[in-house]
């Protein structure tokens, strides 16, 4: 059974940093692209970032480019999102998401349960 366990969310002040983790199991983690998708309270879905199978290819939404860094450790079956210079509008549930392809194409077939990040003073 495919499982994605998101963790690392919490309450931080504007300008601070946070690292999200996603532990994957039930599939060959190194064979699929992985992504982070967020959802602000009461709002729609927003793709945040994606990473290819090797970790050598990363992409970001304009809203987080230069502040967030996605990475993966295929030896630990774990995906990360390092978030710096956090702002109030980064407040959202962050989902770890598996793609069906080796690079992000939007075929998001499995989702984590989500971890809530709240940015507030």
Partner 1 sequence: QSALTQSPSASGSPGQSVTISCTGTSNDVGRYNYVSWYQQHPGKAPKLMIYEVTQRPSGVPDRFSGSKSGNTASLTVSGLQAEDEANYYCSSYAGSNNVVFGGGTKLTVL
- Residues lying near partner 1 in the complex (CB under 8 A) are found at 35, 37, 44-47, 50, 52, 57, 59, 61-62, 95, 100, 103-109, 111-114
The nearer residue to partner 1, 16 or 109, going by C-beta atoms, is: 109
CA gap 89, 24 in Å, rounded = 28
CA gap 98, 78 in Å, rounded = 12
**Measured CA angle at 67 (ends 111, 15), to 5 deg:** 105
CA gap 111, 36 in Å, rounded = 9
CB of 24 vs partner 1, minimal distance in Å: 15
Helix/strand number for the chain, H first, E second: 0, 11
The nearer residue to partner 1, 16 or 105, going by C-beta atoms, is: 105
CA gap 92, 106 in Å, rounded = 20
The nearer residue to partner 1, 65 or 87, going by C-beta atoms, is: 65
CB of 121 vs partner 1, minimal distance in Å: 27
CB of 16 vs partner 1, minimal distance in Å: 25
CB of 19 vs partner 1, minimal distance in Å: 21
């Amino acid at each position: 059974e495919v499982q994605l366990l998101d963790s690392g969310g919490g309450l931080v002040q504007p300008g601070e940093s946070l690292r999200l983790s996603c532990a994957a199991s039930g599939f060959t983690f190194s064979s699929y692209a992985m992504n982070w998708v967020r959802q602000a309270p009461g709002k729609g879905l927003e793709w945040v970032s994606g990473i290819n199978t090797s970790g050598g290819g990363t992409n970001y939404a304009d809203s987080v480019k230069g502040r967030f860094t996605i990475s993966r450790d295929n030896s630990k079956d774990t995906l990360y999102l390092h978030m710096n210079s956090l702002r109030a509008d980064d407040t959202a549930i962050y989902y770890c998401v598996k793609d069906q392809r080796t690079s992000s194409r939007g075929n998001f077939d499995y989702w984590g349960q989500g971890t809530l990040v709240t940015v507030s003073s």
